[in-house]
Amino acid sequence: MVGFVIQRLLQAGLVMAAMSVLVFVGVYAVGNPIDVLLSPNVDQITRLETIAAYGLDRPLWEQYLLFAGRLIHGDFGRSFIFGVPVLDLIFSRLPATLELTLAAVIAATLLGVPLGMYAGYRPDSTASRVIMGVSILGFSVPTFWVGLLLIFVFGVELQVLPAGQRGETATLFGIEWSFLTGNGLRHMLLPALNLSLFKLAMMIRLARAGTREVMFGDTVKFARAAGLRERTVLGRHVLKLIAIPIVTVFGLEFGSTLAFAVVTETIFSWPGVGKLIIDSIATLDRPVMVAYLVLVAFLFITINLVVDLTYAALDPRLRRGGAR
Amino acid sequence: MSAPAPLLEVADLATYFDSKRGVLKAVDGISFTLKRGEVMGLVGESGSGKSVTGFSVIGLIDPPGRIAAGSVKLDGEELVGKDAEALRTLRGRRVAMVFQDPMMTLNPVLSIGTQMRLVLRAHEDVSRADARRRSIEALARVGIPDAARRLDDFPHQFSGGMRQRVAIAIALLHRPALIIADEPTTALDVSIQAQILAEMRNLVRESGTAMIWISHDLATVSSIADSIAVMYAGRIVESGPAHEVLGAPRHPYTKGLLESIPGEAPPGSVLAQIPGAMPSLLALPAGCAFRARCTYAQDACAAMPALAASPQGHAVRCHFPLEGMR
Ligand SMILES: Nc1ncnc2c1ncn2[C@@H]1O[C@H](COP(=O)(O)OP(=O)(O)OP(=O)(O)O)[C@@H](O)[C@H]1O
Ligand SMILES: [Mg+2]
């Protein structure tokens, strides 16, 4: 197990190094930040001084090494626009995205897995057809459109739910959270629903496919022959047998939503990371973009590692194999 | 006075599967009885309906399958038509089933102890500690060394033979009156097959459990069964006391099966295989289903022969039963 973790950490280090090069070069290609930093009418000397101050006159590889050196020390630089350290900026926005993402992914899983299992258990029932219809809808309708629809119906027409901002927050561990207040929860509802629809569809599909396969297997036959109740068969045997793909998708969806909740955050003016990153792209705030992309890479590597470790916890057959 | 009611009484049982291509008659009117503690061998080639018979008895036929006719009585109590919950409380408690491949039947991601606890709790309110104690007892009874420690192991940590012992221990947890063993040794090494066979024989003998031992292999059946029923295309074509059926087979199909056993033929001789294949269960020919492969077949075989029994209970479904073999 320890060997497995060390091996995975080394791998993660390599991937991070490669990612930092890609990110750096990629962002370099986006445009010249000097145009953003300075007003067009400053004189040439100030212009050159600023370029030198940010190290933008050096060769690309030198700029990268400087950047990598700072990265290793956890220094992502300062935002060109806000003038504050980039990490502070990102972490000030992260809780908003984090709580929204967690709410969406957890709700989608807690709802989607039982629904999908039912649809796999009774594939021909009317309820199962309805469930699968919802899942097809969740896959095919674009997120932004659903978001607008939600705002229109619940925010504008019925006026039962707020359709923007975080609402009241409360402090936990020195961080502001919306989910701790009733008002904040109400504000979370629509954007979380918007985010979770696609995930719900995916969880339903996964759970259904897995359940259908397992139900025909000998494990279920043997459990039934021993007189187990259907709910025990489903809740203990089947759920555990289909858990691995579900955990995988949970992890990846959590990561991708945390990183790319852009559309929903924009529609609902949710002050999270997605909104920050869209703004930073519009303003060519290079340090923010770079830091964000590096953190996203880091996030995914971490999630993959956690998912792999969860596999080992879920499936005893993988434990020995992993250690070797 | 009258003889005690048999433990299991199956009469004219028919189990069909509805499919797009028609009605598949997997089991088509079979009857047999089983006394307490009796071991019956149910033999026949692949697809003859042995497993479906087993599942029909424990009420585990799911759509598109259905029990189309007949009756299954356990201790005089009719099981056909009972509701799902009543059948569930019976399964695993009064009738248990063991399957071919323990690698597939045991859940790979649950520990043996957990799986045994689930089976215990399906029928009884048992505490964790009690479940543990009884599971250890059951494992020890089937010859698993160091049972207390192995309880927390997972199926992949056992060898093939040990895994099947675990499955058998699970089947014995509630001390059922009847065990249906569906080819429980087929997936195992030959040397281990013999061990498991011997142990199962002892276990059922000690506990007075009746058993239906399903196999396509007459040789294994001969060493465990008191009586034998031979199935062909969903019907029983011959049945009776084991020594009668094996020693003096009367149906040409049984004779063919016996001649294809390696140990029974003189060493060096070519094993006789029954030529041809079983007809499709979707479109069974009228009359004897075996006649197309039968060297004794005559025109009369186009009519279905009745199952006729001798006074010793040796029954055969054939117009031209063989006499005094061997
Ligand atoms: N769930 C099912 N749906 C449709 N047909 C089925 C189903 N289960 C069994 N059958 C059919 O019933 C027939 C008898 O099958 P069964 O499994 O009882 O054979 P068997 O004698 O146990 O053979 P084997 O030695 O291969 O296990 C086969 O033709 C099979 O295809
Ligand atoms: Mg079978």
**Per-residue pLDDT for chain B (326 aa), expressed as one digit of tens each?**
556 678 999 999 999 999 888 889 999 999 999 999 999 999 998 889 999 999 999 999 988 899 999 999 999 899 998 999 999 999 999 999 999 888 889 999 999 999 999 999 999 999 999 999 999 999 998 889 999 999 999 999 998 889 999 999 999 999 999 999 998 888 788 888 888 888 888 888 888 899 999 998 888 888 889 999 999 999 999 999 999 998 889 898 998 888 877 665 555 555 567 777 888 888 888 888 898 888 888 888 888 888 888 888 899 898 888 885 44
Handedness of CA A243, A249, A253, A254 (dihedral sign): positive
Beta strands at B227-232 and B39-43: parallel, antiparallel or unpaired: parallel
Gap between the Cα atoms of B110 and A202, Å rounded: 26
The residue behind tokens 């806000």 is: A82
Model pLDDT for residues A80-93, shown as the tens digit of each residue: 778 888 888 888 88
Instruction: Dump the DSSP string for B170-231.
Output: HHHTT--SEEEEESTTTTS-HHHHHHHHHHHHHHHHHHT-EEEEEES-HHHHHTT-SEEEEE
Residues of chain A in contact with residue B156, where contact means CB-CB under 8 angstroms, are 316-317
Decide if A216 touches B, using CB distance below 8 A.
Answer: no
- Ligand 1 atom 14 nearest Cα: B49
- Name residues with Cβ closer than 5 Å to ligand 2, which is an ion: B 51
For the Cβ of B138 lying below 6 angstroms from any atom of ligand 1, the answer is: no
Q: What is the maximum span of chain A, computed from C-alpha positions, in angstroms?
A: 86
Model pLDDT for residues B65-123, shown as the tens digit of each residue: 999 999 999 998 999 989 999 999 999 999 999 998 888 899 999 999 999 999 999 99
Residue A33 scores a pLDDT above 70:
no
- Cα A252–Cα A255–Cα A261 angle in degrees, nearest 5: 120
Q: Which residues contact residue B101 at a Cβ distance below 8 angstroms, ignoring those fewer than 6 apart?
A: A218, B186, B187
In ligand 1, which atom is closest to the CA atom of B52? 18
* Burial status of residue B164 (CB atoms within 10 A of its CB: 0-12, 13-18, 19 or more): buried
Give the distance from residue A233's alpha carbon to the nearest chain B alpha carbon, in angstroms: 9
CA of B204 to the centre of ligand 1 (A): 27
The single-letter code of the amino acid at B122 is A
CA of B304 to the centre of ligand 2 (A): 25
With the most atoms of ligand 1 within 8 angstroms of its CB, the residue from B17, B186, B280, B281 to mutate is B17
CA B123 → CA B55, B176, B178, B225, distances in Å?
20, 12, 16, 30
Gap between the Cα atoms of B92 and B313, Å rounded: 31
Gap between the Cα atoms of B106 and B91, Å rounded: 17
- Cα B266–Cα B267–Cα B272 angle in degrees, nearest 5: 60
CA of B57 to the centre of ligand 2 (A): 14
Where residue A141 falls among pLDDT bands split at 50, 70, 90?
confident
Q: Which residue of B99, B105, B123, B175 to mutate against A (max A Cβ within 10 Å)? A: B105
The residue behind tokens 């189990």 is: B15
Decide if B104 touches A, using CB distance below 8 A.
Answer: yes
Nearest to B237 by CA among B294, B194, B180: B294
> What are the tokens at A267?
């529609």
Q: Which residues contact residue B257 at a Cβ distance below 8 angstroms, ignoring those fewer than 6 apart?
A: B43, B45, B218, B230, B274
Q: Which residues contact residue A1 at a Cβ distance below 8 angstroms, ignoring those fewer than 6 apart?
A: A312, A319, A322, A323
Residue A324 scores a pLDDT above 50:
no
- Long-range pairs of B78-86 with CB within 8 A, sequence gap ≥ 24: B80/B13, B84/B59
For A131, left (φ over 0), alpha (ψ -120 to 50), or beta?
alpha
The answer to whether B223 and B48 are in contact (CB under 8 A) is no
Nearest to A294 by CA among A85, A95, A74: A74
Decide if A236 touches B, using CB distance below 8 A.
Answer: yes
The single-letter code of the amino acid at B177 is A
State the pTM of this model. 0.82
Q: List the beta bridge partners of residue B229.
A: B42, B239
Nearest to A237 by CA among A246, A250, A247, A224: A224
**CB pair distance less than 8 Å for B93 and A224:** no
CA of B317 to the centre of ligand 1 (A): 22
Alpha-helix runs per DSSP H in chain A: 2-28, 34-37, 44-53, 60-72, 86-121, 126-140, 143-150, 182-215, 218-225, 230-232, 239-241, 243-260, 262-267, 273-282, 286-314, 317-323
Residues of chain B in contact with residue A225, where contact means CB-CB under 8 angstroms, are 58, 60, 91-92, 96-97, 99
